[in-house]
Amino acid sequence: MGKRPVTLCTCQWADLPLEELCVLAKQMGYDGLELACWGNNMDLDRALSDDSYIPWVQETLKKNGLICKALACHIIGQCVGDAPDPRLNNFAPAAFADQPDAIRQWGIDTMKKAAQVAHKMGIKVITGFTGSPIWKYLYSFPQTTEQMVNDGFNQIVELWTPILDEFKKYDVKFALEVHPGEIAFDYYSTKRLLELFSDRPEFGLNFDPSHLIWQGIKPHLFLSDFRDRVYHVHMKDVAVTLDGRSGLLGSHIDFGDLRRGWNFRSLGHGDVNFEEIIRVLNDMGYEGPLSVEWEDSGMDRVDGATEAAAFVKKVDFKPSDFKFDDAIAN
């Protein structure tokens, strides 16, 4: 097993034009990009309507010595499964504002387009979210019935089945990032969802430890247990700073505020044990990218992302191919 490529998830860098981002990513030490399909990074509609666009994207990557192993469609997928929510106006085109059915249909149609674009680019994985029609039922008061939860999971299966049919057609896998706000947000909700999609190998996971550890879940155990369905890996750190006043639910306080009970941190500055994660990845034989999703409201993003690239390359050690007791054999 060789060293895995270290890529930059561009979800937090979609404000930059692709040419500028590629130059910067290479300067920061990255081997490639996990390209966000919004903002100024990747235009899915143009990729299907303009025959020169995908070659231009590929050439822009190549001339900067970068690869692309995954597209990121998080905000698009969120529009598929969420209950009506005015915040989705920030994700969908302005023409669909305050039209929940139109926003959902846009999400479905655009996820299908993403599979086609990935196929044209030779990309095998799309990361993202599914949304959740029952996230508001997380705390069971007013009382949540089991039927309400079942209906929510079944609705996700119904909404995503035609999307996954398109993914299967184009030989592309969808990797859900287990995350608050999604139908699968922790260990047991993930287990439940994967059981419902047990006959859909197109559906798997984008492992991200930062969304697990503050919930009390050990990321390396999650990774090991769901190893057969992990198609992509995010490297992201978080610090839990409960002080007797703060709580895990965030207190309606923005990220970065030091009063919060936890915050995302630049890699190596939080509580994630990346060594245990690398050991499990080595045991799995995972050879895909280690994609840095960089978030730290208290640090300059270029300085932090530069440091993070070097951190991941250092922590990504190769597995041993030697049994140490063999050294003492006659």
Rounded Cα–Cα distance for residues 260 and 264 (Å)? 11
Q: Give the angle subtended at the CA of 143 by the CAs of 151 and 99, to the nearest 5°.
A: 50
pLDDT score at 2 = 57
Interval 88-141: pLDDT, tens: 999 999 999 999 999 999 999 999 999 999 999 999 999 999 999 999 999 999
- Backbone angles phi and psi of 72, in degrees to 5: -110, 125
Q: Is the per-residue pLDDT at 323 higher than 80?
A: no
Structural tokens at position 285: 């034989």
| Torsional sign, CA 54, 59, 60, 62 | positive
Rounded Cα–Cα distance for residues 315 and 125 (Å)? 24
pLDDT score at 262 = 98
Mean pLDDT, the chain, whole residue set:
96
Rounded Cα–Cα distance for residues 241 and 214 (Å)? 10
Helix (H) or strand (E) holding 28: helix 18-28
Interval 126-169: pLDDT, tens: 999 999 999 999 999 999 999 999 999 999 999 999 999 999 99
Rounded Cα–Cα distance for residues 218 and 5 (Å)? 24
Interval 167-216: pLDDT, tens: 999 999 999 999 999 999 999 999 999 999 999 999 999 999 999 999 99
For residue 320, what pLDDT band results from cuts at 50, 70 and 90?
Answer: confident
Average pLDDT over residues 282-290: 97
Fold of 6-328: TIM Barrel (3.20.20)
CB of 92 within 8 A of CB of 112? no
Give Cβ neighbours of residue 118 (< 8 Å, ≥ 6 apart).
71, 124, 125, 126, 170, 172
Structure-token match 């039209």, residue found: 99
Q: Is the per-residue pLDDT at 10 higher than 80?
A: yes
pLDDT score at 201 = 98
pLDDT score at 327 = 67
Interval 222-262: pLDDT, tens: 999 999 999 999 999 999 999 999 999 999 999 999 999 99
Using alpha carbons, list the distances in angstroms from residue 40 to 35, 72, 114, 272: 10, 13, 16, 31
Structural tokens at position 68: 């692309």
Report the predicted TM-score, pTM, of the whole model to 2 decimal places: 0.97
CB of 166 within 8 A of CB of 203? no
Q: Is the per-residue pLDDT at 326 higher than 90?
A: no
pLDDT score at 155 = 98
pLDDT score at 46 = 98
Structure-token match 């999971």, residue found: 153
Give Cβ neighbours of residue 1 (< 8 Å, ≥ 6 apart).
282, 285, 287, 318, 319
